Amino acid sequence: MNDNDTKSRFFRERRLLLGVSVVLLAHQLLGITVGNSAETLGLRFEIGDPSKIWWAVWAIWLWTAVCVAQQLNSIRPWTVYPKDRTEETRNRLSDWIAVRRVRKAALKHLRATVTRKLNPKFEVVFAERKKVDAPDGQLHEFTCVRVTARWQCDAASISAEKAGAFEAAMKQAGWKISGGSDGFEEGACRFSKTVDVRIVPIQNERLIRWTASTWTLFSTSFVTDYFAPLVIAVAPLVVAGYRAVTQYWSLLSGVVR
């Protein structure tokens, strides 16, 4: 049996399991019962004990649940999990986090070194993502963040001094400066620096992994296709178990009294 046949059978049995589970839940929660007689195709049937029909329904539920579990194990849903979506989401989150962290550190430094009376203008934006050959022979991936500053001044040396201080601050924070420029024009100093943030440490943070996985599960059909039906199918069993425990404790309380 190929994968398509296995999936087709799984989805057919899943629909049957959902239908039987809904019938059982309707019986348990809404009190829907079966009458003593029924008529179909012009024939009338008398049912001696309608409550026994529910045993048959439970038998169908059990058989279908076992078949669904077997088909699910044959499909091996972890092999069809959309890992590319999770990776894409982790990349986007990592870029966003990298820009925010650089912005926080850069603005803190710039506002402390360039006063408001100099009419400063700062900009921190995502530039690109790049891969660089590392000494160990691997490729290291970076998010590049461009930081631009402009303020009023009266000498080109001030621009170079501020740019150097900014580079030192970013390196102290653990990031690299991959390029940029500085200059002086018409009474204004400016510099633009590109800050490289390594992606791997951010991608491996627990919150990033959890958020990316959760987004993938709820933004794709993976959960609804393979696991949500099982949650619905287990509901009648949970209700039955709860009622059995409640009745047991009621009887036990009566005996103790």
For the chain, 257 residues long, give each residue's pLDDT as a single digit of tens.
566 777 788 888 888 888 889 888 888 887 777 655 555 545 454 555 666 778 888 898 899 888 888 888 888 888 888 899 999 999 999 999 999 999 999 999 999 999 889 999 999 999 999 988 877 777 889 999 999 999 998 888 899 999 999 999 999 999 999 989 999 888 899 999 999 999 989 999 999 999 999 999 888 888 888 888 888 888 999 988 888 888 888 877 766 55
Question: For the chain, what is the largest distance between any 2 Cα atoms, rounded to a whole number of angstroms?
Answer: 103
Dist. CA 227–CA 148, nearest whole Å: 49
**pTM for the full predicted model:** 0.72
CA of 185: how far to CAs of 65, 139, 147, 156, 214, in Å?
76, 39, 18, 8, 50
Contact (CB, 8 A) for 50 and 33: yes
Record the tokens describing residue 193, joined without a space: 């620096």
**Nearest to 177, CA basis, from 145, 199, 151, 148:** 145
